[in-house]
Amino acid sequence: MLKKVKFKPPQVLVLGFAGIILIGTLLLMLPVSSVNGQALSFIDAFFTATSATCVTGLVVVDTGTHFTLFGQIVIILLIQIGGLGFMSMATLFAFILRKKISLKERLLLQEALNQGSVEGIVRLFRKVLIYSMTIEGIAAVLFTLRWSQDLGFAKGLYYGIWHAVSFFNNAGFDLFGPVTGKFSSLTAYADDFVINMVSVSLIILGGIGFIVISDLIEYPSKKRLSLHSKLVLSATGILIALGTLVIFIFEYSNAKTLGSLGLGGKLLASLFQSVTPRTAGANTLDLPALRQATQFFIIVLMFIGASPGSTGGGIKTTTFTTLVGAIIAMVRGKQDIVFFRNRLGKDRIFKAITLTMFALLFVILVTMLLSTTEDHDFLMILFEVVSAFGTVGLSLGLTTQLTIFGKVTIALTMFAGRLGLLTLAYALQPKKEKELYRYPEGKITIG
């Protein structure tokens, strides 16, 4: 009699995402998905499906010109499933069928939504669905009203819905290839106030996480925010303001980027390019034309990424804030990291350090590998790797020129970035054994 295999929640998540990617790959390979009626190669279909499911936005073929309506719908469904998490979608069907959510399913939801316990997890999931649909719906209406002026109502409505889903899930896919040129993203709307502000709002809301959104909505009645929400909002605000200032200063006189825009356009474009490394992937400036200092600064922003429990990737704003807090505490000779009169536990600090070191080593390894197989500038390769790991989707033009090995490597990097390196590590680790003893404490010299 065969022994029943029991999977841990992280293993179920890994296998679930892999399954969704495989299904997406097969659908995108169908001739009906391509405008030319020819089947997309397995590697390119796999890359596109991975990028969509991992809500990244890196593309080897232009979405708007290569894919038919069927192919575009497959991609946007992969983005929605990948953004909310396949377990969230499975739970949605359970709600529709009026099925009871089991403890095992609650544990999977806990892992998928990156929560510390199962308490209130189903209630949080209901909020996630309501908030997502409401935000995407409002944005779709605003986009439709604006794009109907340029594209007509029918196309404006389709573009409005499609891009609202893409941008809220921080995917960065766009359909503007037939309108403004292949791989053009939102460059034609660099100084358009409505498009910029709706897009920026979607990206920020998708990037701060559903816990924070819930906290903000309930603030009028509760009159308080959790420590997590305070840290996320503070870190996000500071990073966006700092990014806007740095990009504005570095690119102000660059004729190929901000130089040709008026003051209002310069500020809008700087703000957008500061927000989009939150893992969104859309851009309103020509990224290869940016100065190298700006490109490297964007790499740093992409590595930090979005916030826990969101649709974005990166090491997360709370991890970065914890590291900064540790530095400040060490310099000031303090034993504890304190934020808003709350002390962080040592387990949080160790997790932040572990996650950051994992991420750094992973990015270094992948960059070294691609530096030997891809004949391109180092900064271009590093930009691509960090963009894939942070599930950002920004590129300096390398994606379409990748070798088969490069495409597979970047696809796996997107997969690791979406699920999280710690989740993958937990999924692969053997069964835990209780430690029977501890070694005596030793002292070493640091620094």
pLDDT tens-place values along the chain, 447 residues long: 445 556 666 666 777 788 889 999 999 999 999 999 999 999 999 999 999 998 898 999 999 999 999 999 999 999 988 887 644 555 554 545 455 555 555 555 555 555 555 555 566 667 778 888 899 999 999 999 999 999 999 999 999 999 999 999 888 899 999 998 899 999 999 989 999 999 999 999 988 887 888 888 888 888 888 888 899 999 999 999 999 999 999 999 999 999 889 999 999 999 999 999 988 889 999 999 999 999 999 999 999 998 887 777 889 999 999 999 989 988 888 888 888 888 888 888 888 888 899 899 999 999 999 999 998 999 999 999 999 999 999 999 999 999 999 999 999 999 888 877 666 555 555 555 556 666 676 665 555
In a domain, 34, yes or no: yes
- Please choose, from the candidates 119, 124, 115, 82, the residue with its C-alpha nearest in 3D space to the C-alpha of residue 9: 115
Looking at residue 281, its pLDDT comes to 85
Looking at residue 2, its pLDDT comes to 43
Looking at residue 107, its pLDDT comes to 54
Looking at residue 419, its pLDDT comes to 78
Find the domain containing 123 and state its range.
9-425
In a domain, 292, yes or no: yes
- Please choose, from the candidates 46, 42, 92, 40, the residue with its C-alpha nearest in 3D space to the C-alpha of residue 68: 40
In a domain, 2, yes or no: no
In the block, tokens 């939102």 appear at 186
Other Cβ atoms within 10 Å of 34 Cβ, number: 19
In a domain, 446, yes or no: no
In a domain, 1, yes or no: no
Looking at residue 109, its pLDDT comes to 55
In a domain, 183, yes or no: yes
In a domain, 432, yes or no: no
Looking at residue 424, its pLDDT comes to 57
* Domain count across the chain: 1
In a domain, 430, yes or no: no
pTM of the model as a whole? 0.88
**Which own/partner contact pairs does 202-205 have at CB distance under 8 Å and 24+ positions apart?**
202/135, 202/139, 202/164, 202/167, 202/168, 203/167, 203/168, 203/170, 203/275, 203/276, 203/278, 203/280, 203/282, 204/236, 204/240, 204/275, 204/278, 205/135, 205/168
